[in-house]
Amino acid sequence: MDMEINGHEWWGWNGKTVWFDLQTPRSQDFWIAGVDMATGKETRYHLERDWWGVHFNSSRDDMLFASDGGDPSQVAYAADGMWINLLRVQPNETVTREKLVNMSRHNYVTGRGGVEPNVHITPDRKWIVFTGQFAEGPRHVYAVEIGKANASTKRARQSNRARNHGSSSSRYSSP
């Protein structure tokens, strides 16, 4: 359930930590912030401007977050923010970004007939499900498989690495 408390949009609660979009100050510096309800411990993961999203979602173990991006007119004013993003928590308590779906043809602005993607990570951590409207007409529900996106990215990186090192191994061919 999304709700606003003290000017912050609280968007997730897994029974232990409440996660919310924190901007310090608004439209300048971006964070995924959380408060452990049992201990009061606060956690913050810094986000680059282009990683911000209209909505976020977390996996049940709080190790994956999804962001649905936003167009340049929204609060982050991001130049390259129109992506479904996977954000992975790293051992050094930072997050990394993986661009999963290019949303540049999606209409984000609800006041002008658009729809907010509202990303959700499935309980098995295999899919990100979201709503999209890429042309005039109805919106649809889409899903991107996290593992497939990771495997394709890894194969492409390996292929580039092999080409850059003069290898002719077909084992590293990109999809």
How far apart are alpha carbons 25 and 27 in whole angstroms? 6
Question: What pTM, to 2 d.p., does this model score?
Answer: 0.75
State the DSSP code for 170: G
pLDDT at 71: 85
User: Exposed, middle or buried: residue 82 (CB in 10 Å: 0-12, 13-18, 19+)?
Assistant: buried
pLDDT at 50: 95
User: In tens digits, what is the pLDDT along the chain, a chain of 175 residues?
Assistant: 444 444 555 555 556 899 999 999 999 999 999 999 889 999 999 999 999 998 999 999 999 999 999 888 888 899 999 999 999 999 999 999 999 999 999 888 777 777 889 999 999 999 999 999 888 778 899 999 997 655 444 443 333 333 333 322 222 222 2
Residue 39 φ then ψ, to 5°: -110, -20
Q: Where are the beta strands (DSSP E) in the chain?
A: 3-5, 8-13, 17-23, 30-36, 42-47, 56-58, 64-67, 83-89, 95-102, 120-121, 127-132, 140-145
For residue 116, which of 69, 72, 65 has the smallest C-alpha distance? 69
